């Protein structure tokens, strides 16, 4: 098994100077802090409070999903109706592996994680509903966007298939509570259970991510094996623990060097959607007003994304010469699954002769290294997450690394990394605008907005 690598040398003072880089003494401080944080995470895990850390060991779930996939061989289009953690992981997994010839055994993938009427209308106008399966994903079943997508889908399926419409639906929802559970039971729609104690942004290795992974032909067992391998490394000392290193260096960047923005920049088209998943994980977990004692602290980095080499021509100017409020996390692939070589250059353009005999993998590597070196010379913090290859095993390692680092970071900031109280008020106002019972008292506050 090849291990993922985290290289944070570009964040250190010896690379970019004491003002913007983490000094040796500062590194010792954050190493001590994250070591204590890991003890606290381990204690919470032993107490059964961090179920998402145990997901790599649920192989029986894959057996169940593979059996269901065999029943559904008629499906040619697989659709996820979900939002946030119920969608972002599936989107990223599909994007990473959709290039494979055997991907999904001919099954196409769509995800609707918004309420844009034009997008949904265009899909229903062109899709063959007779070979389409909709996976509605919501733990509560009351998520407004998912509920709306489901209700519209349900009415269109009923128009087309009558009582047989349920054949085209499957729910991923809570076993104990929730509106989807009630609808599924009353209308005899197949249910898969979303663990009640796993939050959406930590759910990619649960049924939420594994269902689409299995259905689309990914090696879901390798995803879990890779995650379990990273779990082993997360129990090691700081020097060999990528999650502890990532959490500690991001904390130092924010708390000691005032870098409020973390930019994830993959140099691989197949990794393009992972920063979107990371944005929710990092932003929703760590962006908190209050600490655990109820004191207002307002902490959290702003996660955003850039794509190499594309955004070298749009954002690198800002990163190099703009505000020094960022650190850049490069996602790098050592060995691509294929490569292309330029063998012929017109003699009329000798200026391009340097490209003759060059492969596209070499181009990508040179662009990444050149960009990273320029940022370093401009005293911008950089780090690298290196994928030796881009397969399910290594992607599983990456997922677990980020999730574990988020849990550690919650301890470093002394905040609850597993709630999202800042999300609810906007939802409540939307409910008031739409006339949902129980939210009438908010209408007066909306008049001035």
Cβ burial, residue 423 (10 Å; 0-12/13-18/19+): exposed
| Known catalytic residue at 313 | yes
Q: What is the pLDDT of residue 141?
A: 83
Task: Give domain 5-44+222-418's CATH architecture.
Answer: 3-Layer(aba) Sandwich (3.40)
pLDDT at 256 exceeding the cut of 90: yes
Q: Tokens 């999202």 label which residue? A: 420
Element (H, E) at 71: helix 59-71
Q: What is the pTM (predicted TM-score) of this model?
A: 0.96
Nearest one of 339, 327, 323, 343 to 380, comparing CA atoms: 327
Q: What is the pLDDT of residue 101?
A: 54
Q: What is the pLDDT of residues 204-222, one digit of tens each?
A: 999 999 999 999 999 999 9
Q: Does the CA dihedral 92-93-96-100 come out positive or negative?
A: negative
Q: What is the pLDDT of residue 426?
A: 87
Tokens of 436: 């949902």
Q: Tokens 């054949």 label which residue? A: 167
337 or 142, which is more confident? 337
**Looking at residues 60-70, what average pLDDT do you find?**
95
Q: What is the pLDDT of residue 79?
A: 97
Question: Which residue of the set 73, 313, 347, 441 is catalytic?
Answer: 313
Tokens of 357: 């005999």
**Looking at residues 19-38, what average pLDDT do you find?**
98
| Known catalytic residue at 54 | no
pLDDT at 169 exceeding the cut of 90: yes
Question: Which residue of the set 31, 284, 332, 368 is catalytic?
Answer: 284
pLDDT at 10 exceeding the cut of 60: yes
Name the 3-class secondary structure at 439: coil
Among the residue ranges 173-177, 240-244, 321-325, 340-344, the one predicted with the least confidence is 173-177
Q: What is the C-alpha radius of gyration for the chain, rounded to an integer number of angstroms?
A: 23
Burial 262-288 (b: 16+ CB within 10 A, else e): bbbbbbbebbbbbbbbbbbbbbbbbbb
Question: Which residue of the set 51, 110, 272, 427 is catalytic?
Answer: 427
Q: Please name the fold of domain 52-220.
A: Rossmann fold (3.40.50)
Name the 3-class secondary structure at 414: coil
- Where along the chain do its domains lie? 5-44+222-418, 52-220
Domains 5-44+222-418 and 52-220 share a fold: yes
Please name the residue ranges forming H helices in 162-306: 179-187, 207-215, 220-233, 242-255, 274-286
Q: What is the pLDDT of residues 70-126, one digit of tens each?
A: 999 999 999 999 999 999 999 999 999 987 654 546 799 999 999 999 999 999 999
* Number of C-beta neighbours around residue 93 at 10 A: 26
| Known catalytic residue at 427 | yes
Answer yes or no: are the C-beta atoms of 140 and 179 closer than 8 Å. Answer: yes
């Amino acid at each position: 098994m090849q291990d993922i690598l985290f290289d944070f040398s570009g964040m250190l003072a010896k690379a970019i100077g004491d003002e913007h880089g983490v000094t040796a003494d500062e590194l010792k401080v954050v190493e001590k802090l994250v070591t204590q944080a890991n003890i606290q995470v381990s204690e919470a895990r032993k107490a059964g409070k961090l179920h998402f850390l145990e997901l790599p060991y649920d192989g029986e779930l894959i057996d169940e999903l593979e059996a269901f996939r065999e029943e559904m061989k008629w499906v040619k289009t697989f659709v996820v109706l979900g939002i946030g953690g119920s969608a972002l992981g599936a989107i990223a997994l599909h994007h990473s592996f959709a290039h494979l010839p055997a991907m999904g055994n001919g099954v196409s993938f769509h995800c609707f994680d918004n309420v844009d009427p034009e997008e949904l209308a265009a899909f229903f106008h062109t899709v063959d509903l007779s070979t389409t399966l909709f996976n509605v994903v919501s733990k509560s079943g009351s998520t407004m966007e998912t509920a709306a997508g489901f209700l519209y889908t349900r009415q269109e399926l009923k128009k087309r298939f009558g009582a047989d419409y349920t054949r085209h639906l499957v729910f991923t929802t809570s076993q104990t509570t929730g509106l989807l559970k009630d609808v599924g039971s009353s209308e005899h729609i197949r249910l898969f259970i979303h663990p009640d104690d796993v939050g959406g942004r930590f759910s990619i290795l649960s049924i939420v991510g594994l269902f689409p992974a299995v259905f689309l032909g990914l090696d879901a067992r390798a995803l879990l094996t890779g995650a379990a391998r990273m779990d082993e490394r997360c129990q090691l000392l700081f020097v060999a623990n990528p999650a502890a290193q990532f959490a500690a260096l991001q904390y130092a960047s924010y708390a000691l060097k005032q870098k409020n923005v973390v930019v994830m920049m993959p140099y691989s088209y197949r990794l393009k959607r992972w920063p979107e998943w990371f944005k929710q994980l990092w932003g929703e977990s760590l962006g908190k007003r209050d600490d655990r004692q109820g004191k207002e602290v307002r902490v959290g980095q702003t996660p955003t994304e850039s794509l190499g080499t594309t955004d070298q021509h749009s954002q690198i100017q800002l990163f190099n010469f703009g505000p020094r409020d960022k650190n850049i996390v490069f996602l790098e692939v050592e060995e691509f699954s294929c490569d292309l070589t330029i063998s012929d250059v017109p003699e009329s353009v000798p200026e391009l002769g340097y490209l003759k005999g060059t492969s596209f993998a070499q181009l990508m590597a040179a662009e990444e290294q050149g960009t990273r070196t320029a940022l370093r010379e401009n005293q911008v913090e950089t780090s690298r997450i290196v994928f030796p290859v881009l397969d399910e095993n290594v992607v599983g390692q990456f997922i677990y690394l980020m999730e574990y680092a988020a849990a550690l970071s919650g301890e470093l900031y002394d905040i609850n990394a597993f709630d999202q109280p800042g999300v609810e008020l906007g939802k409540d106002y939307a409910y008031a605008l739409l006339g949902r019972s129980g939210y009438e008292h908010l209408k007066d506050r909306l008049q001035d907005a």
